[in-house]
Amino acid sequence: MKLLVTVKRVIDYNVQIRVKADGSGVEKDNVKMSMNPPDENAVEEALRIKEAGKADEIIILSVGNDKAQETIRTALAMGADRGIHIKTENDLEPLAISKIISKVAEEEKPSIILMGKQAIDDDSNQTGQMTSALLNWPQATFASKIEIEGQNAIVTREIDEGLERIKVSIPFVASCDLRLNEPRYASLPNIMKAKKKPIDTKDASSLGINIEPRIEQIKVEEPPVRQKGIMVSDVAELVQKLKHEAKVI
């Protein structure tokens, strides 16, 4: 069984986001980048499935500029087998990413596609669902537990009401929740081995699919500064301020 895991290079979650002076986007120059955190859980789950003897190969897929290969190498250092880099200098929308994943899946024929439930930069939470629809595969989103049973999988999902267990047939698409596992750190020997693992690079324009943006970004602005809170002496003063100043009652 072959596993395809998608990873995205994003601004590190510890970095304070800054908007460009001209409002054209978020500042990424000279900013620390890393693998999208939920994608780390997807890589870790693929490794665990393989270590359990239920998969033979783990392929890492990333879309982006040349530096996306650094993210692929990180996953290879964790233990994945090889990488695929779809090169583009443009920031693609979730639909375009889903089309690329679907195209790669048609060529590689994986049994399971794993990805993070959402990226921390655009926070869209759309790629997994769109990929499932394009491939006409079952989907198991927000997965916090995946159990492979023959040609099926039992997936526990994180939902608003609690936990939901569903059964999906293989092949399927799963988006991974942070509660799924604890991603491992890459050891120094594995980091050295990762440098020799193959990464197949293809230009996005060579795939024969339409990845043109459908949304025009007009301007990016910082959120308004939150006003400082005030102290009140008693409940009566609180009610008065809520009624006359905040006008919420």
CB 86 within 8 A of CB 62: yes
Q: Is the pLDDT of residue 69 over 80?
A: yes
- Return the higher-pLDDT residue of 178 and 247: 178
Q: Is the pLDDT of residue 57 over 80?
A: yes
For 115-137, write each residue's pLDDT tens digit. 999 999 888 899 999 999 999 99
In order of their start, the domains of the chain are 2-244 (3.40.50.620)
pLDDT of residue 215: 85
- Name the least confident of 139-143, 159-163, 179-183: 159-163
Q: Which residues pair with 173 in a beta bridge?
A: 113, 139
pTM summary value: 0.84
SS3 assignment for the chain: CEEEEECCEEECCCCCCCECCCCCCECCCCCCEEECHHHHHHHHHHHHHHHCCCCCEEEEEEEECCCHHHHHHHHHHHCCCEEEEEECCCCCCHHHHHHHHHHHHHHHCCCEEEEECCCCCCCCCCHHHHHHHHHCCCEEEEEEEEEEECCEEEEEEEECCEEEEEEEECCEEEEECHHHCCCCCCCHHHHHHHCCCCEEEEEHHHHCCCCCCCCCCCCCCCCCCCCCCCCCCCHHHHHHHHHHCCCCC
pLDDT of residue 26: 83
Q: Is the pLDDT of residue 232 over 90?
A: no
CA angle (116, 119, 121) in 5-degree steps: 165
pLDDT of residue 65: 92
Confidence of residue 177 (pLDDT cuts 50, 70, 90): very high
- CA 140, chain centre distance (Å): 14
For 193-213, write each residue's pLDDT tens digit. 999 999 999 999 999 999 988
Averaged over 49-60, what is the pLDDT?
Answer: 95
Token readout for 36 is 């999208």
User: How many Cα atoms occupy the beta-carbon half-sphere of 173 within 13 Å?
Assistant: 23
Averaged over 85-90, what is the pLDDT?
Answer: 92
